[in-house]
Chains A and B, each alone.
Chain A
């Protein structure tokens, strides 16, 4: 197995670089491999009859971008330019994308992308539309995607996403994040503003948020939180039968209000004060008694576990 791989590499090196050194051959192979990976979606899109379009709009520094889609992967990234660069692809001529811009001329303050059916007959039509948008960093987003993954990265404005089933992933957003899904997982990484995430049966995952308000609610999904709590921050985690796992640093200190009917509660962060005798009363966890972060944990039958990060 190892021999065959080596001989393949040698052969490839010869083809690409002639008499190049083995290390250079490896680099070339990596480069060509990466290039091939980039070309794969294009080739597959071509094979699948993807109707790809590309448009660029001049905008203000803080435009409002709306997107309403049935099914498909949506990617939105913030960039330095005051432009929206949109690449989108449909697989069926019975699906069209309408773009409304306000004001109609000059720098747009609002742009809305709407996927629509061109005819009345929807049955059997592949409604998939893929979107990739580069938007100004200061843009605010409002996305409704029926099914399919939504990825949002590097924004200073607000982001609101609604989906029935796709994964919602939001990274490095400074503004208010609102993510709602029926069955999809929600992942929010390094958010810096207010966060509200609700999924009925999807899992919720938060990594290193630094905003002062976070609300997470799921019925049957799990909630995982990784990071510290900011001073004066308010955190509310609520699940019905999914487990809640918080991974906090050993230095974390917060006021805890936990409620559970049938679930177990375990905390690896010791309480610095004796527990209050009344049920449902707040407990102070950690050693920094000046911290005023308030954490509410509520579960009906899921287990709650506060882990201490190594």
Chain B
């Protein structure tokens, strides 16, 4: 009986050593004990065989670039969550994006806060119609445009019924975007219109994402 226990104890010690050496062996280092132990131990042998199979199969997996719509969807999600910022537009493109200019942002923020506080003390002046008040997050707007282009390239492959549903939904969202944009332009303080405008853009991203991910084409 003690002999069996000794054997079990020895087996466990070898299994522990096998576990310790395994990752180094799979990364290509010389570990002769790994194969020696696997020949003697059934469970470690199965584990080694499985891992070697996974390693060999993974080499055969093709490293393909995902389609453009995947990037568009990732970009859209990041933009919708406010993590991604669109490329600098207009005069912002002329500013360097690194170096000391990086520190200009916090200083500008403090200056802006002071300016805003001063402006808030003054009575509001009407904003010009069609001005910047009508715009939403430019990154999101740009993303929607890109996704829409992708969608128009792909939509002919959709089933007619599915295509009709997406077209109906997108038309409905476009109508609301148009109407809300007009309302925000005419009345920049209309927070409800602005909220609906943002929601419509986010929903459009969601609908376009779903359409681009539809597999039945």
Interface of A with B (CB < 8 Å)?
A: 68, 70-71, 115-117, 122-123, 127, 146-147, 162, 164-165, 182-184, 200-201, 219-220, 240-241, 259-261, 298, 300-301
Q: Known contacts A200-B173, A219-B173: does B162 contact A240 (CB below 8 Å)? A: no
Q: How many Å from the CB of A152 to the closest CB on chain B?
A: 20
Apart from A123-B157, A219-B173, list 10 A-B contacts with CB within 8 A: A71-B216, A117-B216, A165-B165, A182-B166, A200-B168, A219-B169, A240-B200, A259-B192, A298-B192, A301-B179
Cα–Cα, bound, A123→B175 (Å): 31
| Chain B residues, Cβ within 8 Å of A122 | 157, 216-217
Judge whether B190 and A261 touch: CB under 8 Å. yes
Q: Kindly state whether residue B210 has any CB partner on chain A within 8 Å.
A: yes
| Chain B residues, Cβ within 8 Å of A220 | 172, 175-176
What size tier do the contact residues of chain B reach?
Answer: 20 to 34
Judge whether A162 and B210 touch: CB under 8 Å. yes
Judge whether B216 and A127 touch: CB under 8 Å. yes
Q: Kindly state whether residue B147 has any CB partner on chain A within 8 Å.
A: no
Q: Which of B168, B211, B215 contacts A70 (CB 8 A)?
A: B215
Q: Which of B175, B176, B216 contacts A146 (CB 8 A)?
A: B216
Judge whether B192 and A182 touch: CB under 8 Å. no
| Chain A residues, Cβ within 8 Å of B157 | 122-123
Judge whether B169 and A147 touch: CB under 8 Å. no
Q: Kindly state whether residue B25 has any CB partner on chain A within 8 Å.
A: no
Q: Which of B162, B169, B179, B207 contacts A71 (CB 8 A)?
A: B162
Could you give 16 example pairs across A and B, Cβ below 8 Å? Answer: A70-B216, A116-B215, A123-B157, A164-B166, A165-B165, A183-B164, A183-B168, A201-B168, A219-B169, A220-B176, A240-B172, A240-B200, A259-B192, A300-B176, A300-B180, A300-B196
Closest 4 CB pairs of A and B: A165-B165, A70-B216, A182-B169, A200-B169
Q: Per-position contact with A for B191-216: 1 when CB-CB < 8 Å, else 0?
A: 01100100010010001001100111
| Chain B residues, Cβ within 8 Å of A261 | 183, 190, 192-193
Q: Kindly state whether residue B161 has any CB partner on chain A within 8 Å.
A: yes
Q: Known contacts A122-B157, A200-B173: does B165 contact A300 (CB below 8 Å)? A: no
Chain B's closest residue to A240 (CB) is B176
| Chain A residues, Cβ within 8 Å of B216 | 70-71, 115, 117, 122, 127, 146
Judge whether B165 and A182 touch: CB under 8 Å. yes
Judge whether B192 and A164 touch: CB under 8 Å. no
| Chain B residues, Cβ within 8 Å of A219 | 169, 172-173, 176, 200, 203
Judge whether B207 and A200 touch: CB under 8 Å. yes
Judge whether A183 and B176 touch: CB under 8 Å. no
Q: Kindly state whether residue B159 has any CB partner on chain A within 8 Å.
A: yes
Cα–Cα, bound, A68→B213 (Å): 12
Judge whether A165 and B192 touch: CB under 8 Å. no
Judge whether A147 and B173 touch: CB under 8 Å. no
Q: How many Å from the CB of A259 to the closest CB on chain B?
A: 6
